[in-house]
Amino acid sequence: MIESESVLYRVDRADALLLEATAAPGSEAALDRYIRAVLDDSPGLSMAGESAFRTYGMAMVSALGLVIALLYLTLGAQFESFLLPLPIMATIVLAMAGVGPALCLAGLSLDSGSIMGMVVLFGVVVNNAILLGENSSLCRNRGLTLAQSVYRGASERVRPLVATSLTTLVALLPLCLMPSGAAQKSMSVAMLGGMAASTALTLFVAPVFFARLGADCSAGSRL
């Protein structure tokens, strides 16, 4: 018998216990018969033929897509533009560049916790882009050219954005360093990797998008 760290499993809103049996060479058929006999005598047991993510994966992906669609519609209504939300939401792609590597380095996989972490992450990184766009618009109203206002708007927000991101990263570190059985670990690792990548890339990429589109984020002051 091999013991591992305890993990809390939930299936259909109920606690679950997972048992994995490995047959000795040449005993596969006997083990299969024994497992089926145990399942027949125990109505509360069932065979897990696939992971929970494969079972509920489409629902998770659909929820993620719905969040992105609602976020786009909300930004479009706020700024009264179909184009302006695009450079703002491009920061979501930058954040995703850090989620995958962070999960791989932590030895975790994509599950419901990491999906929830990405949903929270989307709102944070979009807010950072809105702040950059709003500050660029204020500089534009002072009479600066588009390139100057975008550069000045980003440079003036470097320290506030970095300070806010560092505070969030430090707060997530204890959860990320918890034992692998912690239910919040995958969510925290996904948020930490995405926040780090987004902070490092948004300050350089988002201003370029604003300059190329000539975006005016003055409506961001109403957020």
| pLDDT-derived band at 219, boundaries 50, 70, 90 | very low
3-state secondary structure of 15: strand
Residue 220 has pLDDT above 50, yes or no: no
Count of alpha carbons within 13 angstroms of residue 212, beta-carbon side = 9
Amino acid at 129: A
- Neighbour tally for 71: CB within 10 Å: 18
pLDDT above 90 coverage of the chain, percent:
1
- pLDDT at residue 3, as a whole number: 54
pTM across the whole model: 0.66
- Quickly state the pLDDT bin for 222 (edges 50, 70, 90): very low
Work out the mean pLDDT of the chain and round it to a whole number.
76
Alpha helices in the chain (DSSP H): 28-41, 52-79, 85-105, 112-141, 146-156, 158-176, 185-213
pLDDT given for residue 223 in this prediction: 35
pLDDT for the residue 205: 79
Say yes or no to pLDDT of 85 above 50: yes
Residue 129 near residue 87, CB atoms below 8 Å? yes
Q: Cβ distance 96 to 118 under 8 Å?
A: yes
Identity of residue 177 = L
